[in-house]
């Protein structure tokens, strides 16, 4: 495993970070989830990312149990706040001071820890003054409940304003957690340059484009396994499941073989070539997936291979920076 600094802080994290979105507390039985976490630890992963909204708080509880007994100082534990939790009452969502302050305490109880290394705004809250949110984060840092603050799926302008307020309030905004993959590059034109300027790193989710870059979905065939076969989850993958995209992805297979990598390893290694990326978030529904994916750590792809990947994918790549704002909630989600 290799480690990278997160933003301009002194915090190092494992460049393969274990994330438990869509798995712990929902898709995967707790015993299997624990084995996946153990596989990650055995492979040298020290960084674990979750959120209070995942499986309506159950994912945090499962991760807390799975990490119980590990030396806390050897781990970096991240979680997030924004989406509705609990009974989904009128204050059980967003980034108001009330929700943020109550949510951090709930997360710490479930994770069985006194602090998280990184506390992240899971989305931007259009209904709460940003000053209120950032003051709450500042107070959480001063109370020792979180060491650093990050954001997820914020636009470049929102990140700039959040960073300005964090400096005024005396804490560090050090990370951004966007979707990023060979097929989804919307952060490259605006978010990445802003973050490079401000000393903020990316912790990217869905480096495999929700499984599409694994190559398991074939053009012209109805998926029978994986996320795309699930009615609840498959809808969010529609943009990736077009035949022209799936055909282009199959063209990556010989490139992966030439590099001595599996398709998932190539996808994860690709995002890690971006110097502004500190870590790739990788989930798993079985330990073998963890063991395979961590082999992307430390892989360096030659410039010629990176160029050939671009040629193969061509115009199926989404690059529009406006997609971040377009896909963001326009108001609090109840």
Contact by Cβ (8 Å): 283, 208:
no
**What is the maximal distance between C-alpha atoms in the chain?**
55
Q: Which of the 8 DSSP states describes residue 118?
A: E
Please state, in angstroms and rounded to a whole number, the distance separating the CA atoms of residues 285 and 273: 26
**Positive or negative CA dihedral for 36, 37, 42, 43?**
positive
Per DSSP, what are the bridge partners of residue 148? 118
Q: Which of the 8 DSSP states describes residue 24?
A: B
Q: Catalytic pick from 54, 124, 148, 217? A: 54
In terms of phi and psi (left: phi > 0; alpha: psi -120 to 50; beta: otherwise), the region of 206 is left
Distances (CA, A) of 183 to 11, 27, 154, 326: 29, 25, 19, 17
Residues present in the chain in total: 334
Do β-strands 3-5 and 12-14 pair in parallel, antiparallel, or remain unpaired? antiparallel
Contact by Cβ (8 Å): 250, 220:
no
Annotation says 54 is catalytic: yes
Using alpha carbons, select from 273, 295, 206 the residue that is nearest to residue 16.
295
Contact by Cβ (8 Å): 25, 288:
no
Q: How far apart are the first and last CA of the chain?
A: 40
Collapse the DSSP code of 8 into the 3-class scheme (helix H, G, I; strand E, B; otherwise coil) and give the result: coil
The string of DSSP letters for 55-81 reads GGGHHHHHHHHHHTTS-GGG-EEEEEE
Contact by Cβ (8 Å): 332, 93:
yes
Do β-strands 173-176 and 201-204 pair in parallel, antiparallel, or remain unpaired? parallel
Please list the active-site residues.
Answer: 54
């Amino acid at each position: 495993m290799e480690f990278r600094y997160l933003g301009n802080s002194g915090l190092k994290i494992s460049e393969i970070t274990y994330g438990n979105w869509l798995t712990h507390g929902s898709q995967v039985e707790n015993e299997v989830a624990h084995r996946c976490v153990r596989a990650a630890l055995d492979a040298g992963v020290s960084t674990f990312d979750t959120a209070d909204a995942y499986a309506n708080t159950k994912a945090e509880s499962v991760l807390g149990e799975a990490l119980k007994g590990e030396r806390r100082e050897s781990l970096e534990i991240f979680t997030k706040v924004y989406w509705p939790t609990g009974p989904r009452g009128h204050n059980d969502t967003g980034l108001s001071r009330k929700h943020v302050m109550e949510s951090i305490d709930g997360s710490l109880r479930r994770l069985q820890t006194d602090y998280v290394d990184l506390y992240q705004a899971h989305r931007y809250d259009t209904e709460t003054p940003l000053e209120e949110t950032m003051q709450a984060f500042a107070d959480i840092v001063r109370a020792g409940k979180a060491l650093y603050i990050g954001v997820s799926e914020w636009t470049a302008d929102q990140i700039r304003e959040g960073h300005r307020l964090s400096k005024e309030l005396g804490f560090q905004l050090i990370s951004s957690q966007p979707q990023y993959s060979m097929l989804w590059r919307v952060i490259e034109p605006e978010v990445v340059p802003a973050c490079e300027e401000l000393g903020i790193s990316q912790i990217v989710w869905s480096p495999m484009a929700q499984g599409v870059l694994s190559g398991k979905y074939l053009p012209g065939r109805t998926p029978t396994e994986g996320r795309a076969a699930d009615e609840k989850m498959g809808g969010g993958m529609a943009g990736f499941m077009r035949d022209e995209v799936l055909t282009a992805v199959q063209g990556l297979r010989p490139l992966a073989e030439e590099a001595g990598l599996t398709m998932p390893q190539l996808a994860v290694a690709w995002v890690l070539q971006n110097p502004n990326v500190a870590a790739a978030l990788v989930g798993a529904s079985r330990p073998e997936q963890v063991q395979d994916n961590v082999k992307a750590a430390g892989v360096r792809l030659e410039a010629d291979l990176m160029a050939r990947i671009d040629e193969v994918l061509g115009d199926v790549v989404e690059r529009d920076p406006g997609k971040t704002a377009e896909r963001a909630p326009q108001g609090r989600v109840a």
